[in-house]
């Protein structure tokens, strides 16, 4: 079952935690690919120095201000795409970064896109899973209640919260336990 708009229209921390165990899917002309979400991070807008939306609305961050359930993508370090889910209601700029998947559907296609054969490393990082799923900059603003990219209900997994990865520049916010991981899962990024 595809998650409805209401799932996303809650606070970012709840959405980030509850996305663990759900299945992220893209359905593109080359085929359907997807996997269980096993690692996420919440980025909490105006109260979060690590968030791209911390300093307000720009051309890049305007999608944060839409209703939950749309896609925010950006290019990092000049070569990797990161895939995020916008959370909360219109006007509240929160988002959830998807950091790792356990590969499930279209594994062969994902291996081809990534040019690598190792299952364990196939989707174990935000850049990796974006490439495996075929997510590009054109996904900016895509509707998760549509057909190209969506999230389905799946299993319930035990979850722990830890500090977020690579946000040391964010001062106090770097210590918040806003990363969520499926306990004991082998497909997480670190």
Partner DNA sequence: ACCGTGATGTTCT
Partner DNA sequence: GAACATCACGGTG
Residues in contact with DNA by the rule CB under 7 A: 41, 43, 50-53, 55, 58-61, 72, 74-80, 82, 84, 95, 97, 114, 116, 121, 125-129, 165-167, 169, 189
In the complex, least distance from residue 18 CB atom to DNA, rounded to whole angstroms: 17
Q: Give the DSSP H/E element, type plus range, for residue 12.
A: helix 12-19
C-alpha span between 137 and 43 (Å, rounded): 20
Our CB check for DNA shows the closer of 27 and 84 to be 84
Our CB check for DNA shows the closer of 5 and 60 to be 60
Q: Give the DSSP H/E element, type plus range, for residue 19.
A: helix 12-19
CA–CA–CA angle 91, 93, 95 (5° rounding): 135
| Axis-axis angle for helices 107-114, 126-133 (nearest 10) | 110
Our CB check for DNA shows the closer of 22 and 128 to be 128
Our CB check for DNA shows the closer of 1 and 111 to be 111
How far apart, in Å, are the Cα atoms of 110 and each of 28, 115, 137? 12, 8, 18
In the complex, least distance from residue 14 CB atom to DNA, rounded to whole angstroms: 17
Our CB check for DNA shows the closer of 29 and 78 to be 78
- Tell how far CA 146 is from the center of its chain: 16
In the complex, least distance from residue 1 CB atom to DNA, rounded to whole angstroms: 26
In the complex, least distance from residue 32 CB atom to DNA, rounded to whole angstroms: 21
In the complex, least distance from residue 115 CB atom to DNA, rounded to whole angstroms: 8
**CB-CB contact of 46 with 57 (8 Å):** no
**CB-CB contact of 26 with 34 (8 Å):** yes
């Amino acid at each position: 079952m595809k998650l409805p708009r209401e799932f996303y229209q809650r606070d970012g921390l709840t959405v980030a935690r509850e996305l663990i165990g759900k299945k992220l899917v893209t359905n593109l002309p080359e085929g359907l690919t997807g996997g269980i979400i096993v690692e996420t991070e919440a980025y909490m807008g105006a109260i979060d120095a690590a968030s791209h939306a911390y300093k307000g609305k720009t051309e890049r961050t305007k999608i944060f201000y839409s209703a939950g359930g749309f896609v925010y993508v950006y290019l990092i370090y000049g070569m990797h795409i990161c895939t995020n889910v916008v959370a909360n209601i219109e006007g509240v700029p929160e988002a959830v970064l998807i950091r790792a998947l356990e590969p499930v559907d279209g594994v062969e296609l994902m291996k081809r896109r990534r040019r690598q054969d190792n299952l364990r490393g196939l989707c174990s990082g935000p850049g990796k899973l974006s490439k495996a799923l075929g997510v590009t900059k054109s996904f900016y603003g895509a509707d998760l209640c549509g057909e190209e990219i969506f999230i389905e209900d799946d299993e319930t997994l035990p979850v722990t919260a830890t500090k977020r990865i690579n946000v040391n520049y964010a001062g106090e916010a770097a210590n918040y336990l806003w990363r969520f991981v499926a306990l004991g899962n082998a497909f997480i990024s670190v």
